[in-house]
């Protein structure tokens, strides 16, 4: 049985990563979406193991010591991380894994897993990104400007990724991500290995 691959999807806030991943999961139920662990309290409606794995800070620190995370970071007083176990189990089952993580997390995962495939999602234009963030209506002007400053920094990292997908329409972006995933399973090295096992 072929082993699954890990696909990292990154991009600035407001670019539509979550929407692309949701549509991809609906089209491909065989894909495994990695659920992060966090020390923050669950928000209303959030379920353990679905939205996050909710654990306390002492347990999180113990898992760091055990090298149980592919990547982790502290953000606004809470820890967030990608547990290795669930990713490895899914890959052993032959399922492809999606990690929707930021640039910092992607750098950590790539260092530990050089075979992970990196995909950066960009907006069709800077104006489109700003408009999408404004249309959300969830941020103050000050917070929105901070998001835009961070987006400029993150967009500079796009060149270090293996693939770039422009999210002009969700349908086209999903088609491109699906094509990347298919192409990665058609590499000669992997196909030759399957033949040698026959």
In a 3-state reduction of DSSP, which class is residue 6? Answer: strand
Question: Does residue 19 lie within any of the structural domains?
Answer: yes
pLDDT tens, 104-148? 899 999 999 999 999 999 999 999 888 888 887 777 888 888 888
Question: Does residue 1 lie within any of the structural domains?
Answer: no
Check residue 84 and give its pLDDT: 95
pLDDT tens, 140-162? 888 888 888 888 888 999 999 99
What total of structural domains would you count in the chain? 1
C-alpha 104/C-alpha 193 separation (Å) is 33
137: left (phi over 0), alpha (psi -120 to 50) or beta: left
Check residue 147 and give its pLDDT: 82
Question: Does residue 190 lie within any of the structural domains?
Answer: yes
Q: Tokens 């002009």: give the residue.
A: 168
Residue 198, classified by CB atoms within 10 Å of its CB into exposed (0-12), middle (13-18) or buried (19+), is exposed
Q: What is the CATH number of the domain that holds 174?
A: 3.40.50.300
Residue 100, classified by CB atoms within 10 Å of its CB into exposed (0-12), middle (13-18) or buried (19+), is buried
**Which tokens belong to 75?**
């953000």
Question: Does residue 141 lie within any of the structural domains?
Answer: yes
Give me the domain span that covers residue 145. Answer: 6-197
């Amino acid at each position: 049985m072929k082993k699954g691959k890990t696909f990292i999807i990154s991009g600035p806030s407001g670019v539509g990563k979550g929407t692309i991943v949701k549509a991809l999961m609906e089209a491909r139920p065989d894909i495994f979406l990695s659920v992060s662990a966090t020390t923050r309290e669950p928000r209303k409606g959030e379920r353990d193991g679905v939205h996050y794995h909710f654990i306390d800070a002492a347990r999180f620190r113990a898992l760091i010591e055990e090298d149980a995370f592919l990547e982790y970071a502290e953000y606004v007083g809470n820890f967030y991380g990608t547990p290795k176990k669930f990713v490895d189990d899914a890959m052993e089952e032959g399922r492809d894994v999606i990690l929707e993580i930021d640039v910092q997390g992607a750098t950590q995962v790539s260092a530990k897993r050089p075979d992970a495939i990196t995909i950066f999602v960009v907006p069709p234009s800077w104006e489109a990104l700003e408009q999408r963030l404004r249309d959300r209506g969830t941020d103050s002007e000050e917070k929105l400007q901070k998001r835009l400053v961070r987006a400029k920094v993150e967009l500079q990292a796009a060149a270090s990724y293996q693939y770039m997908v422009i999210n002009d329409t969700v349908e086209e972006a999903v088609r491109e991500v699906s094509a990347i995933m298919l192409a990665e399973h058609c590499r000669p090295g992997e196909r030759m290995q399957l033949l040698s096992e026959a």
